[in-house]
Amino acid sequence: GESVGLHLPTLSVQEGDNSIINCAYSNSASDYFIWYKQESGKGPQFIIDIRSNMDKRQGQRVTVLLNKTVKHLSLQIAATQPGDSAVYFCAESTGNMLTFGGGTRLMVKP
């Protein structure tokens, strides 16, 4: 039978637009969160992280927002480029181990 999760949630955006990828995490005790980018045929690459004592952190073209009240994490990519096309995973940590979300596929239309 078909595996659950075979079809990833997909976000399709126009080149140059901003992208927002969302993630709901499960453990209210998680104290550290990471966003990874995985391009086709490659391993996940670290993008940006945030600690639970923060609600926003900015990097180059990327911003991560953390809402602990509703256990929600988002990744915002400004001026999305074709090279941003990939699967994006969030991960949560309680200090020892990471637990990964299922991923969102970002497709950038030229």
Among 1, 3, 28, 29, indicate the residue that binds another protein (CB under 8 A). 3
E strand segments, the chain? 10-14, 19-24, 32-38, 45-51, 56-58, 62-67, 72-77, 86-93, 98-100, 104-109
Q: Of residues 42-81, which lie at the interface with another protein (CB under 8 A)?
A: 42-46, 49, 51-52
Q: Residue 14 forms beta bridges with which residues?
A: 109
Q: Within 13 Å of residue 41, how many CA atoms lie on the same side as its CB?
A: 0
Stretch that binds another protein, among 40-48, 56-64, 66-74, 77-85 (CB under 8 A): 40-48
| Binders in 79-108 for another protein, by CB under 8 A | 89, 93, 95-98, 100-103
Residue 3, Ramachandran bin (φ over 0: left; ψ between -120 and 50: alpha; else beta): beta
Shortest distance, CB of residue 45 to another protein, whole angstroms?
Answer: 7
Given the rule CB under 8 A, which residues bind another protein? 3, 5-8, 31-32, 34, 36, 41-46, 49, 51-52, 89, 93, 95-98, 100-103
